[in-house]
Amino acid sequence: MECEEHSYKKCEKYMDEEYIDEESEEHIHEECGVFGIWSMEGKEVAHTIYQGLLALQHRGQESTGIVVCDTKGPIGNIASHKEMGLVSEVFHEETLEKLRGNIGIGHVRYSTAGGSIIANAQPIVLNYLKGTLALAHNGNITNADGLRKELQESGAVFNGNSDSETIAYKIAMDRIASSSIEEAVQNTVQVIKGGFALLILSPRKLIVARDPLGIKPLCLGKLDDSYIVASESCAITSVGGEFIRDVEPGEILAITQEGLHVVSTPSETKKRAHCIFEYIYFARVDSKIDGISVYDARIRGGRALARRYPVDADVVTGVPDSGLVAAVGYSKESGIPFELAFHKNSYVGRTFIKPTQQERKNSVKAKLNVLESVVKGKRVVLIDDSIVRGTTIANLIHMLRQSGAKEVHVRICAPPFLYPCYYGTDVPSNSELIANQLSVNEICEFIGADSLGYMDRLDFSYMTGDLPVCKACFDNEYPV
């Protein structure tokens, strides 16, 4: 279907010739992932943290860092290393050999609050009156500006502009007047608002905290004598560990030489708002979050799309890798065969900076190539997790038609994005969201599809059962 002229004119802002990351512009991004470990027998943990961060790389690709400590060494013997880049680019054997310790935390970052600069890379390490602490944080704090101002008025000097640094300073300030690091974390958690999963490392303790609504995921595992905490269960199993359970919303745990201790139990209100996008896109398919298999949830999402938006077609396919599992679900429900219609070149860098629209289209082809024999002369159902600006999926539809597809019907495993997220998910401002500017029919015309169907919010209950979810970016109903 050719796009009508009025739709193109209304969408010219999405086709600017500035900077577009051809992989990320079409998808929503998580802010980061965290991984922590304590070896009770004193084993070195840097290599295990490295492996755990590799498993969490999908949650953030801008910067990464590791902080370790030898609990049997002198107080304050913390060693750290962090840089901009991917885990495999930042850490090498000689780097890891210098990180000696049996307790440590690691972090991968995609910036939402605070810019993409080394000063905002994590874990954050602070030397203060009572000693040293390091912090790794996933999420966003909605009252960070007010807390930051209070801390600055008390003499705090910040190196970066992230809300994570604000949390670290707040814990350090509370620790000065508290009897323990656990008490300081408790005091801070009662003040901060938003979505967060926190790992706080002191020279002898690893403290773990999850926001009261459970917006951000966090789970607990074991590896021989070691306790592990990570954003996703896939990071635990990838290092050979055993998943034990999710950290409960509002729960604070302390891991010390004596073992695992519950510092604070979940609030009695029981209000929960787990991020629905963990199941739609963020989490790895081999993860299990809050009792729900991510793979199974995406299969159910695809099935829900097939029920709500059936179509006569010859083949179902997904955009690699974000739409593949949902496409399998759509195929199972509809009976239309599933095929891989795109070959993904995994060796092309994830970011393209191109000066013209034509070069941006070419950069998409460098990453994805259509398998002509799969789509030629066929009616294709194309599944993806979201449409943000619309330019990339429009290019993919054009590529399918060039390869001989008779029809292209798009199905999106999320409702239209209409509102920004304040809890650590990189949903752009309203003006950048195509669904905030155009109707579904106009978006369909703009991307060149024969039909377009978005998941209905009512189908979330089919995906995740009775799990209470946050869907504010779709319905403007913010839980905090």
The CATH number given to whatever domain includes residue 350 is 3.40.50.2020
- As a whole number of angstroms, the distance between CA 411 and CA 444 comes to 11
Residue 55 inside a domain? The answer is: yes
Phi, psi of 412 (to 5 degrees): -115, 125
Phi, psi of 105 (to 5 degrees): -135, 155
Catalytic entry in 3, 11, 32, 421: 32
253 residue type, one letter: L
Looking at the structure, do residues 416 and 294 belong to the same domain, yes or no?
A: yes
Residue 279 inside a domain? The answer is: no
Looking at the structure, do residues 142 and 240 belong to the same domain, yes or no?
A: yes
Residue 222: which CATH number? 3.60.20.10
Looking at the structure, do residues 150 and 252 belong to the same domain, yes or no?
A: yes
Which one of 246, 271, 296 terminates a domain? 271
Looking at the structure, do residues 242 and 331 belong to the same domain, yes or no?
A: no
- Tens of pLDDT, residue by residue over 357-375, are 455 555 566 789 999 999 9
> DSSP for 33-77?
EEEEEEETT----HHHHHHHHHHTGGG--SEEEEEEE-TTS-TT-
Which one of 223, 246, 271 terminates a domain? 271
Looking at the structure, do residues 116 and 50 belong to the same domain, yes or no?
A: yes
Domain count, the chain: 2
Looking at the structure, do residues 248 and 323 belong to the same domain, yes or no?
A: no
Residue 232 inside a domain? The answer is: yes
Residue 84 inside a domain? The answer is: yes
Answer whether 243's CB lies under 8 Å from 233's CB.
yes
Residue 261 inside a domain? The answer is: yes
Looking at the structure, do residues 11 and 48 belong to the same domain, yes or no?
A: no
Q: Which domain holds residue 449?
A: 5-26+288-475
**Nearest residue to 32 via CA among 167, 160, 199, 191:** 199
275 an active-site residue? no
Residue 202 inside a domain? The answer is: yes
Looking at the structure, do residues 73 and 40 belong to the same domain, yes or no?
A: yes
Residue 99 inside a domain? The answer is: yes
How do 274-275 and 315-318 pair as beta strands?
unpaired
Q: Count H helices, E strands: the chain?
A: 18, 23
CA 196 vs. chain centroid, Å, equals: 12
pLDDT by residue for the chain (480 residues), tens only, comes to 333 443 444 444 444 433 333 444 455 555 699 999 999 999 999 999 999 999 999 999 999 999 999 998 887 789 999 999 999 999 999 999 999 999 999 999 986 555 567 878 999 999 988 889 999 999 999 998 898 888 888 877 788 778 899 999 999 999 999 999 999 999 999 999 999 999 999 989 999 999 999 999 999 999 999 999 999 999 999 999 999 999 999 999 999 999 999 999 886 667 899 999 999 999 999 999 999 999 999 999 999 999 999 999 999 999 999 899 999 999 999 999 999 999 988 776 544 334 444 555 555 667 899 999 999 999 999 999 999 889 889 999 999 999 999 999 999 999 998 888 888 776 666 777 899 889 999 999 999 999 999 999 999 999 999 999 999 989 999 998
Residues paired with residue 206 on neighbouring β-strands, in sequence order = 201, 255
Structure tokens at 479: 């839980």
Residue 480 inside a domain? The answer is: no
Sign of CA dihedral 362, 364, 365, 366: positive
Looking at the structure, do residues 243 and 328 belong to the same domain, yes or no?
A: no
Looking at the structure, do residues 16 and 40 belong to the same domain, yes or no?
A: no
Looking at the structure, do residues 185 and 317 belong to the same domain, yes or no?
A: no
Looking at the structure, do residues 151 and 299 belong to the same domain, yes or no?
A: no
